[in-house]
């Protein structure tokens, strides 16, 4: 029996959350080895398990993969969520990179000093409603299909729906004028594997709160 992938990260979203989403959407059960202290990070480093001395790290198929993009690429390829040819893969990569740009802004928002939060939120709102969401809405409108690429679920759809949840956590009004994106969110959320991941008690992580942020600061010394 194949061992479940094992995810090494702290008990929060960060760069591991997209990996959790992708595995869950693919219907893959996984285990988590939470990093709870700086000593846990040091042990992984001293054991030679972190090629570049940083997490996330995922043990899968006999490999110890680091670098979140490499991990996501492998999972998407393994579970047929990466298009049928190099042209579809190029589109998926392009859309995924766009999602990552906005996701990084949102995921780092809790780390912003209090005096800068209003300005940072204004920046997120501007980029969300004037740059990124219009671009994805235009893609869906251009071909009238259910999914972004080839009318088949891909990692781009999963990452985009994850992003839409983050956007609506900040302010639900940000997605109000994007009906095709809201429909995509509903469509993907109703897939059995994703629906299970969205249920209370799943391995999906909640928004970063003050306690979790403080724990992360102690672990990673930032």
Q: What percent of the chain has pLDDT over 70?
A: 99
Short-list 156, 166, 93, CA closest to 128: 166
Mean pLDDT of the chain: 95
Domain 86-189, CATH among 3.40.50.300, 2.60.200.20, 1.10.357.10, 1.20.1050.10:
1.20.1050.10
Question: Which comes out higher in pLDDT, residue 213 or 38?
Answer: 38
Banded model confidence at residue 215, pLDDT cuts 50, 70, 90: confident
Tens-digit pLDDT profile for residues 59-89: 999 999 999 999 999 999 999 999 999 999 9
Q: What is the largest CA-CA distance in the chain?
A: 53
Architecture per CATH, 6-79+197-220? 3-Layer(aba) Sandwich (3.40)
Considering the entire predicted model, what is its pTM?
0.95
Q: What percent of the chain has pLDDT over 90?
A: 88
Where in the sequence of the chain do the CATH 3.40.30.10 domains occur?
6-79+197-220
pLDDT at 188 (0 to 100): 98
Report d(CA 197, CA 179) in Å as an integer.
Answer: 23
């Amino acid at each position: 029996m194949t061992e479940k992938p094992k995810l090494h990260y702290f008990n929060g979203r960060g760069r591991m959350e997209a990996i959790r989403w992708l595995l869950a959407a693919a219907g893959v059960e996984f285990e988590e080895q939470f990093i709870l202290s700086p000593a846990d990070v040091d042990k992984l480093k001293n054991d030679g398990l972190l090629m570049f001395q940083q997490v996330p790290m995922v043990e899968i198929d006999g490999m110890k993969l680091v670098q979140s993009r490499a991990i996501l690429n492998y999972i998407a390829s393994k579970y047929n969520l990466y298009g049928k040819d190099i042209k579809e893969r190029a589109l998926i990569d392009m859309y995924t990179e766009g999602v990552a740009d906005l996701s990084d802004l949102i995921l780092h928002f809790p780390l912003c000093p209090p005096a800068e939060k209003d300005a940072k939120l204004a920046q997120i709102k501007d980029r969300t409603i004037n740059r990124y969401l219009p671009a994805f809405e235009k893609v869906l409108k251009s071909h009238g299909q259910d999914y972004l690429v080839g009318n088949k679920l891909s990692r781009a759809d999963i990452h985009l729906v994850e992003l839409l949840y983050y956007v609506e956590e900040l302010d639900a009004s940000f997605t109000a004028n994007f009906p095709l994106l809201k429909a995509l969110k509903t469509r993907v959320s109703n897939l059995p594997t994703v629906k299970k991941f969205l249920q209370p008690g799943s391995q999906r992580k909640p928004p970063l709160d003050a306690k979790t942020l403080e724990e992360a600061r102690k672990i990673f010394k930032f």
